[in-house]
Chains A and B, each alone.
Chain A
Amino acid sequence: MDAARPYLAAFAARFQQMLQYRAAALAGFATQCWWGAIKVMIYTAFFHAGRHDASPISLGQTITYTWLAQGFLALNPWGGDPDVAAAVRTGAVSYDRLRPVDGYAWWYARAAGWMTARAVPRAALMFLTAGIALPLLGFGAWSWRPPADLAQAGLFALSMLLVVALSSAIVNLTNVIIAATLTDRGANILMGPLLIVFSGNLLPLRLFPDWAQTALFVQPFAGLVDIPFRIYFGDLTGAGAWAGLGLQAFWTLAFVAGGHAWMSRVMARLQVQGG
Chain B
Amino acid sequence: MNSLYLLWRYLQTSVKSQLQYPASTIMLNISQFFLNIIDVIAIGALFARFGQVQGWKFGEVVFFYGVVSASFAIADFLTRGFDVFGTEFVKTGAFDRVLLRPRSAALQLIGYDFRLSRFGRLAQAIAALGIASVSLNYHWGPPQVALALWAITGGVALFAGLFVLQATLAFWTVESLEVANVLTYGGIQAAQYPLSLYAGWFRTFLIFVVPLGCVAYYPVVALLGRHDPLGAPDWFLPMAPAAGFAFLGAGLLAWDFGIRHYRSTGS
A47 to chain B, nearest CB (A): 7
Tell yes or no: B226 within 8 A of A by CB: no
B144 to chain A, nearest CB (A): 27
Tell yes or no: B230 within 8 A of A by CB: no
Residues of chain B lying within 8 A (CB to CB) of residue A49: 50-54
B263 to chain A, nearest CB (A): 21
Interface centre among A46, A47, A197 (most CB of B within 10 A): A46
A203 to B48, CA, bound (A): 13
Interface centre among A35, A42, A50, A202 (most CB of B within 10 A): A42
Tell yes or no: B100 within 8 A of A by CB: no
Tell yes or no: A146 within 8 A of B by CB: no
Task: Check if B51 sits within 8 Å of A41, measured CB to CB.
Answer: no
Interface size on A, residues (CB 8 A): 31
Complex partner residue of B179 from A30, A185, A189, A208, CB under 8 angstroms: A30
B58 to chain A, nearest CB (A): 12
Tell yes or no: B38 within 8 A of A by CB: yes
Stretch touching chain A among B68-76, B81-89, B190-198: B190-198
Residues of chain A lying within 8 A (CB to CB) of residue B28: 189
B55 to chain A, nearest CB (A): 8
Tell yes or no: A55 within 8 A of B by CB: yes
Tell yes or no: B204 within 8 A of A by CB: no
Task: Check if A31 sits within 8 Å of B181, measured CB to CB.
Answer: yes
Residues of chain B lying within 8 A (CB to CB) of residue A24: 178
Tell yes or no: B45 within 8 A of A by CB: yes
Residues of chain B lying within 8 A (CB to CB) of residue A35: 186, 189
Say whether, besides A27-B178, A34-B182, A189-B28, A197 and B38 are in contact (CB < 8 Å): yes
Complex partner residue of B31 from A46, A190, A208, CB under 8 angstroms: A190
Task: Check if B27 sits within 8 Å of A193, measured CB to CB.
Answer: no
Mark interface residues in A177-210 (1 if CB within 8 Å of B CB, else 0).
0000000011001101100110000110001110
Task: Check if B179 sits within 8 Å of A192, measured CB to CB.
Answer: no
Interface size on B, residues (CB 8 A): 32
Question: How many A-B residue contacts, CB cutoff 8 Å?
Answer: 81
Residues of chain A lying within 8 A (CB to CB) of residue B182: 30-31, 34
Nearest neighbor of A33 in chain B, beta-carbon distance: B182
Task: Check if B45 sits within 8 Å of A208, measured CB to CB.
Answer: yes
Tell yes or no: A1 within 8 A of B by CB: no
Tell yes or no: B35 within 8 A of A by CB: yes
Task: Check if A202 sits within 8 Å of B53, measured CB to CB.
Answer: no
Task: Check if B50 sits within 8 Å of A193, measured CB to CB.
Answer: no
Residues of chain A lying within 8 A (CB to CB) of residue B45: 203, 207-209
Complex partner residue of B50 from A37, A50, A190, CB under 8 angstroms: A50
Task: Check if A27 sits within 8 Å of B179, measured CB to CB.
Answer: yes
A54 to B45, CA, bound (A): 12
Tell yes or no: A45 within 8 A of B by CB: yes
A138 to chain B, nearest CB (A): 13
Tell yes or no: A28 within 8 A of B by CB: yes
Tell yes or no: A38 within 8 A of B by CB: yes
Task: Check if A202 sits within 8 Å of B42, measured CB to CB.
Answer: yes
Task: Check if A202 sits within 8 Å of B41, measured CB to CB.
Answer: yes
Residues of chain A lying within 8 A (CB to CB) of residue B27: 185-186, 189
Task: Check if A41 sits within 8 Å of B186, measured CB to CB.
Answer: no
Say whether, besides A185-B24, A189-B27, A203-B45, A38 and B190 are in contact (CB < 8 Å): yes
Tell yes or no: B139 within 8 A of A by CB: no
Q: List 10 A-B contacts (CB under 8 A).
A: A31-B186, A42-B46, A49-B51, A50-B49, A50-B51, A55-B50, A193-B38, A197-B38, A209-B48, A209-B49
CB within 8 Å of B: which residues of A? 24, 27-28, 30-31, 34-35, 37-38, 41-42, 45-47, 49-50, 54-55, 185-186, 189-190, 192-193, 196-197, 202-203, 207-209
Q: Which 7 A-B pairs have the closest CB atoms?
A: A50-B50, A45-B197, A27-B178, A49-B53, A189-B31, A34-B182, A46-B50
Give 4 new A-B contacts, CB below 8 A, not counting A31-B178, A31-B181.
Answer: A30-B179, A49-B53, A196-B38, A197-B38
